[in-house]
């Protein structure tokens, strides 16, 4: 078992469209960009700087901590690549859609580790997410509510509701030990947004279970070492992938998808490629339950911070799909 000290809170955010909002099939990057812009305007006290690099307030700035995180001094930056962001959007892949005036747009957000101390700024920024407009038509939305949810028990706490003066700053916290185990002999992973895993510099198209476990270990330990208690620093990362070789792949239905993403910086464009579909594995999942459940909430693979690599776990006891 990989030691992980990584508390997090799962939020459900609901916005009401004031006018038609035209969204792309994968709107996570649009929502994350709007949130980042709002958080920057609220938090940055040195807007004359072009980047967070060198800012003397970086270590206490809500925007710097979330959008330009730095690894702790004891971790070599080269070992992490790009430090992961502690605010994760949960937005599934679908067809292009229009949200007309009066309709509700809902999405999930996960706030991880030390970023939980910045919850007042997170909630304040969410009030402003739709103010500048989203999507191709730049349609405006108004915040309806932000709810803290326990995704496995169904418990909910209202954090913020439009029109109410009060703000609740004690969300439902989850820790790795709180997540339910997996006892079934077979699991299916339903990929709801494109999953992009790399191995040897190439995107993986045949996702065997050891590949999945290595990717989960890498993402979750990076998050935990930068934004959590760093309990995984120096841990043995070879044991679980070795045990994972005993898990059999019994079904794969994966189709390639791509989404052109237009960034806010000089209109740069990125072609996001990945896989959608279902994966099915058979074996003893007890040693891997925590990793799989954390991935279910925190995403996996490239672009996970704005909703890529989103999957649900289905426990199965019957025959092969």
pLDDT for the residue 138 = 87
**pLDDT-derived band of residue 320, with 50, 70 and 90 as boundaries?**
very low
**Four-point Cα dihedral 301, 305, 51, 264, nearest 10:** 100
Report the candidate in 136, 88, 58, 14 with the shortest Cα–Cα distance to residue 303.
Answer: 88
Span 135-165, pLDDT tens digits = 888 899 999 999 999 999 999 999 999 878 7
- Kindly indicate the confidence band of residue 229, based on its pLDDT and cuts at 50, 70 and 90: very high
Range in 23-37, 70-84, 98-112 the model is least confident about? 70-84
54-62 average pLDDT score: 88
Q: Would you say residue 78 has pLDDT above 70?
A: no
Helix, strand and coil content of the chain, in percent to the nearest 5, comes to 30, 30, 40
3-class DSSP string for 210-253: HHHHHHHHHHHHHHHHHHCCCCCCCCCCCHHHHHHCCCEEEEEE
Yes or no: say if 256 and 223 are a contact pair by the CB < 8 Å rule: no
Check residue 321 and give its pLDDT: 44
Residue 104, classed as helix, strand or coil, is strand
Q: Is the dihedral of CA 94, 8, 167, 37 positive or negative?
A: negative
Mean pLDDT of the chain: 90
Q: Residue 9: pLDDT band by 50, 70, 90 thresholds?
A: very high
pLDDT value of residue 135: 84
pTM for the model stands at 0.93
Q: What is the pLDDT of residues 235-289, one digit of tens each?
A: 999 999 999 999 999 999 999 998 877 655 445 678 889 999 999 999 999 999 9
Better-scored residue on pLDDT, 135 or 310: 310
pLDDT at residue 18 is higher than 70: yes
Q: What is the mean pLDDT of residues 160-185?
A: 92
Q: Domains of the chain by range and CATH? A: 8-161 (3.30.70), 178-316 (3.30.70.1900)
């Amino acid at each position: 078992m990989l030691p992980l000290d990584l508390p997090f809170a799962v939020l459900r955010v609901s916005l009401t469209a004031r006018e038609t909002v035209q969204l792309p099939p994968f709107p996570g990057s649009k929502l994350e960009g709007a949130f980042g812009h709002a958080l920057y305007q609220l938090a940055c006290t040195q807007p004359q700087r072009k980047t967070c690099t060198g800012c003397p307030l970086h270590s206490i700035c809500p925007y710097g901590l979330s959008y330009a995180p730095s690894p702790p001094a004891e971790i070599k930056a080269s070992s992490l690549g790009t430090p992961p962001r502690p605010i994760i959007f949960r937005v599934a892949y679908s067809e292009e859609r229009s949200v007309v005036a009066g309709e509700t747009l809902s999405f999930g957000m996960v706030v991880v580790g030390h970023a939980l101390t910045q919850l007042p700024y997170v909630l304040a920024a969410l009030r402003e997410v739709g103010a500048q407009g989203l999507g191709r038509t730049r349609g405006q939305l108004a915040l309806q509510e932000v709810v803290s949810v326990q995704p496995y028990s169904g418990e909910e706490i209202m954090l913020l509701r439009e029109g109410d003066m009060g703000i609740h700053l004690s969300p439902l916290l989850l820790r790795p030990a709180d997540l339910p185990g997996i006892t079934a002999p077979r699991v299916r992973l339903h990929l709801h947004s494109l999953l992009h895993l790399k191995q040897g510099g190439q995107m993986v198209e045949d996702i065997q279970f050891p590949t999945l476990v290595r990717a989960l270990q890498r993402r979750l330990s990076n998050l935990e070492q930068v934004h959590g208690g760093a309990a995984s620093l120096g841990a043995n990362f070879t044991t679980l992938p070795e045990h994972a070789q005993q898990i059999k792949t019994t079904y794969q239905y994966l189709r390639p998808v791509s989404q052109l993403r237009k960034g806010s910086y000089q209109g740069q464009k990125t072609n996001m490629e990945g896989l959608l579909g279902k994966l099915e594995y058979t074996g003893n999942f007890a040693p891997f339950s925590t990793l799989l459940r954390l991935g279910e909430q925190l995403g996996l693979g490239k672009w996970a911070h704005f909703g890529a690599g989103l999957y649900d776990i289905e426990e199965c006891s019957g025959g092969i799909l």
